[in-house]
Every structure is written in structure tokens, then in C-alpha cells.
Chain A
Amino acid sequence: GQNIDQPTEMTATEGAIVQINCTYQTSGFNGLFWYQQHAGEAPTFLSYNVLDGLEEKGRFSSFLSRSKGYSYLLLKELQMKDSASYLCAVSGSARQLTFGSGTQLTVLP
């Protein structure tokens, strides 16, 4: 089975940098995803890591360490619109996604 842990809530200030951590224990691993979900909407894809290291995409970066079962999502130059829930999800052997409980990020002015 899969077990995924991420903080429930985080708060940061507009223009700052925030790092959202995710740890996982898995019986099968085909990569780790980060999704953003605004209230009442479906998740939107942010990043996918299958190899160790940092993937950078604009203001968002994602890091993976498979040996440590650890990932983080880094958001730079925070904007008010970044207030959302951020979901860490692990892809299993049959490509099914197991989601963490999500981290609710609040960006303050």
C-alpha cells in the first residue's frame, strides 16, 4: 500500500518563498506528482518527478529523493492566487494515483 504525509496547512506572505514537503512509503513507485486544487475545482497538474533531483518550471520547482521517500514543492514569488490546496500524489505500479491529504496554503498580503 501507499502512505503519504504532508502538512495540513501553511501560511506565507505575498512575494515570499514556501516549501511544501511530502514523505511517502510505497510498495510500487512510478513517479510523484504535485497538483494544485482550488476550492470546488478539480486538480491541475503542476509537476512530475520520477528521477532524483530538482525540476524547475517557472515559479514552481519540485524535488525528489527516492532513497529517502521525500519530495518537496517550492513556490517562489508567491501571489495571492497561489492560495490553494497542494496535493502530493504517488503513482503506483498500475499508474493509479494515491493522494496525500493535501496542504492548504494561504498567502497573506
Chain B
Amino acid sequence: GAVVSQHPSWVICKSGTSVKIECRSLDFQATTMFWYRQFPKQSLMLMATSNEGSKATYEQGVEKDKFLINHASLTLSTLTVTSAHPEDSSFYICSGTSGDQETQYFGPGTRLLVL
């Protein structure tokens, strides 16, 4: 299957700071990338969908000014958590899909802890 990487794999930051998470498709061109969040013992919740070169589409309840998504190329999408607070601590996972393919391939996830 296709490979997606994320960086960093984990991050600890102070409340009020911003954190950027990178998602890269290593062996395919990800025309669409998705960002999910997963709290402990819960399932994945879609935050936003981004198509290369377009603005991201955010799910209801997700603040677009707080979670900035950039999908500037076919292999890279970034999620920036601005002014992070402890309640933003979670497991953030990206996925990518290419062309008409339906299967999403997931990155290894980034664990964020906001103190």
C-alpha cells in the first residue's frame, strides 16, 4: 500500500503556543488529504478535507481559524494548531488518497500534549 509519513510523531508544548504537523505522501500524489483527531478510547473524528491548491473544508464544530490547514503540493499537507490549549491534546492523524481511488492511507499519527 501507499506510504504516508507524519512529523513530528509526538510533541509537547505550552498552552498558548502554536504547533505545526506535517503530513507527506511518500510514494504517491495525494490529491486529497484528510485530517482526523482521536481522543483516548474514542474513534477517529474527521476534522477537515483538503484538496491540493484549494482551501480546506472543515467539519461542523471545527474552528478553521484555530486549525490551519495548508495543502500546497500533491505530497505535503500541514496542520497548524494555533494558540493550543490542554483540551487540544489528542492524537492527530492524516490520510491521503489519490485520483479516483477510494482507499485512504493513514500516516502514523502525531500525539500532541499541551501543558
Contacts and interface: CB of A to CB of B under 8 A. Distances in A.
A76 B45 CA distance: 29
Given A41-B108, A42-B93, A95-B97, A87 B44 contact: yes
Contacts of B97: 95
B80 to A, nearest CB: 20
Contacts of B103: 33, 45, 48
Interface residues of B, number: 24
Contacts, number: 54
B15 to A, nearest CB: 24
Interface centre among B34, B43, B91, B107 (most CB of A within 10 A): B43
B1 A42 contact: no
Contacts of B57: 94
Given A45-B1, A48-B103, A50-B102, A95 B43 contact: no
B43 A87 contact: yes
* Chain A: interface size category: 20 to 34
A98 B93 CA distance: 14
Interface in A52-87: 87
25 contacts: A30-B102, A41-B108, A42-B93, A42-B107, A42-B108, A43-B44, A43-B106, A45-B1, A45-B103, A45-B105, A48-B102, A95-B32, A95-B49, A95-B102, A95-B104, A96-B59, A97-B46, A97-B95, A97-B104, A98-B46, A99-B43, A99-B44, A99-B45, A100-B43, A101-B43
> 3 tightest A-B contacts by CB?
A42-B106, A42-B109, A99-B43
